[in-house]
């Protein structure tokens, strides 16, 4: 590394490290930081900035309350700090940090062989997927750090969503803001972030460098999409979404404020369909890779949901790591059998057929003395689903591949899924996609293959799968609309109930029958116990099932008109 340790005031080369950490993999995260710093040094950077809590991985949740973990994070920070004595780039990096008995979400300046300064996150988010007030203490309003003669303000993630922190930094002499983030992606997030950043720039008159992490962590997906804005609100640079990157921008004082004179370019951000697809694929890929599964297995039914999940699995992992299984019964149509085979062939995956007639009939025979005289119904339908779940779990146990489950948000919302049957699995990439989104993304994937996808070009989901009426095929001539309203209606009602929390009257005003709305709300509430037992899955909406929406299982409330009204 070159001699870079002298104080500078007329130029600053900032490397933004948009990288993919793993929660708890402290040595792996440190290795990524070292490699990125070497890359930044080769590009003559003065400083490299990493995302929020990079050493621990984000979000670490209650793991940070473990003293051994906290000490191990600090040891890695101190080791990296010692390496900055080599004269290379200074390092800005996040870690949990205990001081005076309090645990903080901290961001550290490492330079000259030591921890030069530490700043603490002030605004701790406590909504949706965030629960930082549970584990961290909020820091005091910060002043800037002295980065080789440049006064740099460090608002950590949520700190730029309020006015006080950046105003304090401006008033105490900061000349540029570097904001480290662990900001998950969901629909609408690109615009939302930039509007927040613009508001802070308008208020302070300071340029801002926004550094975000990338990658999947359990249900969250981080898209990166790091960017910088000049003080005049122009876009200085934009890094790509859903890709790791280390990018160096060159800044210099102009007309009384720092300005980016070379940002390295502006990457185009994906449209909504591509972003949704990329998020689902990245979430699945990182869940499999970070938990060290050799691959995935799934039931391929000939229906739209399993076909899209199969395509996402191949795009995430490659066809050699995806195993699809058709499990026909007497209600499975010849068209479904043909469609599943065509889909597997288009994707290039291993495809096996395991008929379920023998285990289903053996189970029914065992239960016959108890069920004698009772009419056939949902119980027998569920036996079919549960036998499929048993078979898929056996394959998963035998060969180590993770079972991927394939229920969409519409079905899971109203309980149109079988506990211990088609809900079996370790992860669900489409858990937060409504049925109409599943159709839209299936059509989209047949026409597009984004960079980085490992599946084939061209149509990978047979058109007949997209065209036919959705059905679970658990009884003769069954379709989903026997039990549910058309999915375009259902999805709108569900979005109103889940994401928007609208009243029945407000939903009816959108053109929906209020009795139908009441029925759907009731189904939503009584299926809560199933959702508590469902596999985790990628969050792509503002309110997914999980940490975003914590409804009680035992719940007698219904939004019905008062009889005395």
Question: Which candidate in 121, 189, 431, 539 is catalytic?
Answer: 121
Show the tokens assigned to 129: 């997927």
Host H or E run for residue 496: helix 487-498
Cα 287 from chain centroid?
Answer: 10
Residue 184 sits at the vertex; the CA angle it makes with 182 and 186, to the nearest 5 degrees, is 160
Host H or E run for residue 504: helix 504-508
User: In 1-97, which ranges are continuous DSSP H helix?
Assistant: 26-42, 67-83
Nearest to 454 by CA among 297, 343, 320: 320
Question: Which candidate in 70, 108, 123, 157 is catalytic?
Answer: 157
**Rounded CA gap, 408 and 430, in Å?**
6
Nearest to 324 by CA among 308, 112, 189: 308
Q: Which long-range contacts (CB under 8 A, 24 or more apart) does 117-120 make?
A: 117/145, 117/146, 119/145, 119/154, 119/156, 120/156
For 373, phi then psi, to 5°, come to: 95, -15
Beta bridge partners of residue 48, listed in sequence order: 15, 91
Output the 3-class SS for 243-298: CCEEEEEEEEEECCEEEEEECCCECCCCCHHHHHHHHHHHHHHHHHHHCCCCCEEE
Beta bridge partners of residue 407, listed in sequence order: none
Show the tokens assigned to 224: 């990166």
For 161, phi then psi, to 5°, come to: -90, 0
**Rounded CA gap, 534 and 415, in Å?**
11
Tell me the helices (H) and strands (E) count for the chain, helix number first. 16, 19
Q: Is residue 265 a contact partner of residue 237, using CB atoms and an 8 Å limit? A: yes
Q: Is 114 assigned a catalytic role?
A: no
Nearest to 196 by CA among 210, 185, 184, 182: 210
Q: Is residue 512 a contact partner of residue 522, using CB atoms and an 8 Å limit? A: no
Q: Is 157 assigned a catalytic role?
A: yes
Q: Is 203 assigned a catalytic role?
A: no
Please list the active-site residues. Answer: 52, 121, 157
């Amino acid at each position: 590394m070159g001699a870079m340790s002298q104080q500078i005031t007329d130029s600053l080369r900032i490397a933004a490290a948009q990288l993919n950490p793993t929660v708890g993999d402290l040595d792996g995260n440190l290795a990524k930081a070292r490699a990125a710093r070497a890359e930044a040094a080769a590009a003559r950077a003065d400083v490299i900035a990493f995302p929020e809590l990079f050493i621990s991985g984000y979000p670490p949740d209650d793991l940070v309350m473990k003293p051994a973990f906290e000490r191990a994070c600090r040891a890695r920070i101190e080791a990296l700090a010692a390496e900055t004595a080599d004269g290379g780039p200074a390092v800005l990096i996040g870690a949990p940090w205990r001081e005076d008995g309090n645990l903080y979400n901290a961001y550290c300046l490492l330079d000259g062989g030591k921890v030069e300064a530490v700043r603490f996150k002030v605004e701790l988010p406590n909504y949706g997927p965030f629960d930082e007030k549970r584990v961290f203490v909020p820091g005091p309003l910060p002043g800037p750090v002295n980065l080789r003669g440049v006064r740099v303000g460090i608002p950590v993630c949520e700190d730029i969503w309020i006015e006080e922190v950046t105003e304090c930094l401006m008033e105490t002499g900061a000349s540029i803001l570097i904001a480290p983030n662990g900001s998950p992606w969901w629909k609408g997030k690109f615009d939302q972030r930039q509007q927040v950043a613009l508001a802070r720039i308008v208020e302070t008159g300071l340029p801002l460098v926004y550094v975000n992490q990338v990658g999947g962590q359990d249900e969250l997906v981080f898209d990166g999409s790091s960017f910088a804005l000049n003080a005049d609100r122009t876009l200085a640079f934009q890094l790509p979404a859903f890709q790791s990157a280390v990018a160096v921008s060159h800044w210099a004082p102009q007309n009384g404020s720092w300005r980016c004179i070379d940002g390295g370019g502006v990457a185009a951000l994906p449209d909504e369909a591509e972003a949704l697809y990329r998020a689902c694929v990245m979430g699945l890929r990182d869940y499999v890779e970070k938990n060290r599964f050799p691959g995935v297995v799934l039931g391929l039914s000939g229906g739209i949901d399993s076909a899209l999940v199969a395509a996402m699995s191949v795009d995430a992992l490659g066809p050699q790591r995806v195993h699809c299984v058709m499990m026909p019964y007497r209600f499975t149509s010849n068209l479904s059998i043909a469609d599943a085979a065509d889909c597997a062939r288009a994707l290039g995956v291993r495809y096996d057929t395991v008929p379920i007639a023998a285990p289903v009939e053996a189970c029914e025979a065992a239960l016959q003395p108890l069920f004698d005289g009772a009419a056939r119904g949902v119980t027998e339908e569920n036996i079919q689903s549960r036998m499929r779940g048993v078979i898929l779990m056996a394959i998963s146990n035998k060969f180590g591949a993770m079972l991927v489950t394939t229920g969409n948000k519409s079905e899971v919302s109203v309980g149109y899924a079988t506990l211990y049957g088609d809900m079996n699995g370790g992860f669900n990439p489409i858990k937060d996609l409504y049925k109409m989104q599943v159709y839209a993304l299936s059509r989209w994937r047949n026409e597009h293959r984004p960079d980085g996808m490992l599946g084939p070009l061209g149509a990978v989901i047979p058109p007949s799968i997209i065209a036919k009426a959705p059905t679970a095929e658990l009884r003769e001539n069954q379709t989903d609309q026997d039990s549910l309203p058309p999915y375009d209606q259902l999805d709108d009602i569900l979005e109103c109930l889940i994401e928007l929390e609208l009243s029945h009257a407000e939903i009816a005003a959108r053109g929906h029958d209020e009795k139908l709305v009441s029925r759907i709300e009731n189904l939503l509430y009584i299926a809560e116990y199933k959702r508590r037992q469902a596999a985790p899955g990628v969050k792509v909406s503002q309110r997914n099932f999980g940490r975003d929406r914590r409804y009680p299982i035992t719940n007698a409330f219904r939004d019905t008109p008062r009889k005395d009204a």
